[in-house]
Structure 1
Amino acid sequence: MSKFEGVHVALVTPMTNDYEVNYQRLYEICEWLISEGVNGLIPAGSLGEYATLSNEERRKVVETVIEASKGHVPVTVGTGAPATKDVVYWAEHAKNSGASGVMALPPINYNPLENEVIAHYEALSKVGIPIIAYNNPRDYAVDLTPDLLAKISKLDNIVGVKEFSGDIRRVHDILEKTDLEVLIGVDDLAMEGPLCGATGWISGVPNALPAEGVKLFQLARAGKVDEAIQLYRKLIPLFHYDAEPQLVQAIKYMMELAGQPVGPTRPPRLALTDEVYVAIKEQFQKAINSPVTKG
């Protein structure tokens, strides 16, 4: 039985206008997302700007999300950090704070050898909390190929993989070669992923459109392809932003358009150009005003 089924939102981190973390808004956003039907929450990931947070802020972000969840949905904590010992620290903090699992990148500070990648996950496995390995060869040097995942999956607590390569064929290969749960990690494969056997989706744009994201994923998992395609085609122009380097700025703006403002991004992320904001707004309005999306 899958531990991480359904739509798990990779949370943004709300900020005030002077770039301080807005914990009250974070709590409110979590409550809203749960009320909209999402299946899980993921703080302190890339979309949550974890690399710009101090350790104190990061701890409080994780603890705020766990408190806001009230046990209604699982909280899976991002553990990204340059050193393995720091990744282990964040996994231990997540476990001690009551998280249901962690999401863990391979080593991010240089291009490691295969045995170093495996040793990294071995150290993390010893913490004793369920682990979703995070494959993101678009942004990091390591590619967790299906063959490498087959080796990593033999570790006790590795239960799933967030697959962000953008190659839908990976889903089939991972399911064939491992017993891992596959959670599709890029929004513009949110329909294809479950059709190919992914049981979860670690999502970005559903920060702003949670009910629509849940509906799409449920339709695809149920094999209702015609209905899923109609909804997917309305949302996919927005989903494409999830695979862009400026995904945080774009998704935070979508949340503003959805009536759930979360403030700016911290530098080095700066505001987007007016042209990009106009394009996002046009695509957002077209999506939400579609009879398919409304229905």
Structure 2
Amino acid sequence: MVRFPGIQVAIITPFDSSGEVDYARLAEHTDWLIENGVHGLVSPGSCGEYATLTDEERRRVVETVIEASDGRVPVTAGVMAPSTAKTVAWTEHAKQAGAEAVMALPPINYNPTRREVLAYYQAISDVGLPIAAYNNPHDTATDLTPEFLAELSGIENFVAVKDFSGDVRRITRIREVCDLEVIVGVDDLALEGFLAGATGCIAGFANALPRETVELYNLVQAGEIEKAWELYRKLLPLFRYDSTPLLVQAIKYTMELVGRPAGETRPPRLFLSEEDQRAVKRAFEYFATTRTTG
């Protein structure tokens, strides 16, 4: 059973002009993404600015996305938190709210031992929802290597990994040593990841370009690799922002460019400088122009 197929959107959290969560826009955005063919939603993750949300906001964000999705696509809840107790509490909330699965980084506030990481994921598993681990060795102290993942795969509900290592060789190696689903964790490795055997991609720029991102996946599934490459080449200047510290700001600005503004980001993320806005706009215009003429 493939639990994380295709394009799983790491859905943004929209804010209004006063910096408050805009729940109505979040519900509308959820509906729009589903209408444009995405296969699942992940909320709140890094793109959803989970670390800046209050507990009440975070609860309402998860509940809003689940309610708006209305069972049409699966929703995976991000449950990252500084302690095991809080992560488990968010997992319990996700289960009560109707999420299909959870996504969890390893412990995030220090460098844990392997034994501690195993115990942490076991505690999440005990809640009873499928787990997609989030491997991001660039921003956390723990690298979930293929061999470590093989050990973690012995945990009952540990079923998948979102790999943000940036090394496509990880995908084939993970598939060699265990039966976990591998989900591409960064937009600018999507095509390579699908070809290496990833079941899907937790995608950021799909917030602004859902139909095109789904088309990329569908072309690969249909074996139309040359067409997939042509589309991917046009998207890459934008997609490359997904593996930079400016990913959320660049995604939200691109949403503004396509006529779907979602507000600015919350500090400590500052919105794009004028120079960065020009660069993102050039990348978007390159896509829009080549898409029309190509």
- Compute the TM-score of the two structures, normalised by the length of structure 2: 0.98
User: How far does residue 4 in structure 1 lie from its aligned partner after superposition?
Assistant: 1.2
Distance 2:57 2:191 in 1: 35
Structure 1 residue aligned with 2:193: 193
Could you tell me which residue of structure 2 aligns to residue 236 of structure 1?
A: 236
SS of 1:61's equivalent in the other structure is: helix
CA deviation profile, 1:78-137 (whole Å, cap 9, x unmatched): 011010110101111000100000001100010011111111101000000011011000
For the pair 1:175 / 2:157, whether they are aligned, the reply is no
CA distance in 2, matches of 1:291, 1:15: 30
Contact 1:195 1:223 in 2 (8 A): no
| Whole-angstrom distance in 1 between the partners of 2:80 and 2:204 | 17
Secondary structure at the aligned position of 1:7 is classed as strand
> What amino acid maps onto 2:132 in structure 1?
I
Q: Which amino acid in 2 is paired with 1:81?
A: A
Residue 104 of structure 2 contacts residue 134 of structure 2 at CA under 8 Å; is this kept in 1? yes
Mapping 1:61-140, distance limit 5 Å: 61-140=61-140
Q: Could you report, residue by residue, the CA deviation over 1:4-34 in whole angstroms, capped at 9, with x for unpaired residues?
A: 1110000110001111000000001000000
Question: CA–CA distance in 2 between the matches of 1:223 and 1:176?
Answer: 23
Offset of 1:219 from its aligned partner? Answer: 1.4
Name the SS of the counterpart of 1:103 in structure 2: strand
Structure 2 spans left out of the alignment, 5+ residues: none
Which letter does structure 1 place at the counterpart of 2:40? G
3-state SS in 2 of match to 1:14: coil
Alpha-carbon distance in 1 for matches of 2:221, 2:118: 32
Q: Is the Cα contact below 8 Å between 2:234 and 2:291 reproduced in 1?
A: no
Residues 238-261 of structure 1, C-alpha deviation per residue, up to 9 Å, x if partnerless?
011001111111100011111111
Q: Distance in 2 between matches of 1:268 and 1:245?
A: 12
In the alignment of these two chains, the number of paired residues is 294
Contact 1:252–1:264 (CA under 8 A) maintained in structure 2: yes
Identity value in percent: 58
Equivalent residue, structure 2, for 1:56: 56
Counterpart for residue 255 of structure 2: 255
* Alpha carbons 2:40, 2:73 under 8 Å: kept: yes
1:32 aligns with 2:32: yes
1:264 corresponds to which residue? 264
Aligned to 2:16: 16
In structure 2, give the amino acid aligned to 1:263: G
Asked if the contact 2:27–2:65 (Cα under 8 Å) also holds between the matched residues in 1, the reply is yes
- 1:191 partner SS: helix
SS in 2 for 1:289: helix
Counterpart secondary structure, 2:173 = helix
Farther-moved stretch of structure 1 (212-221 vs 282-291): 282-291
Shift of 1:272: 1.5
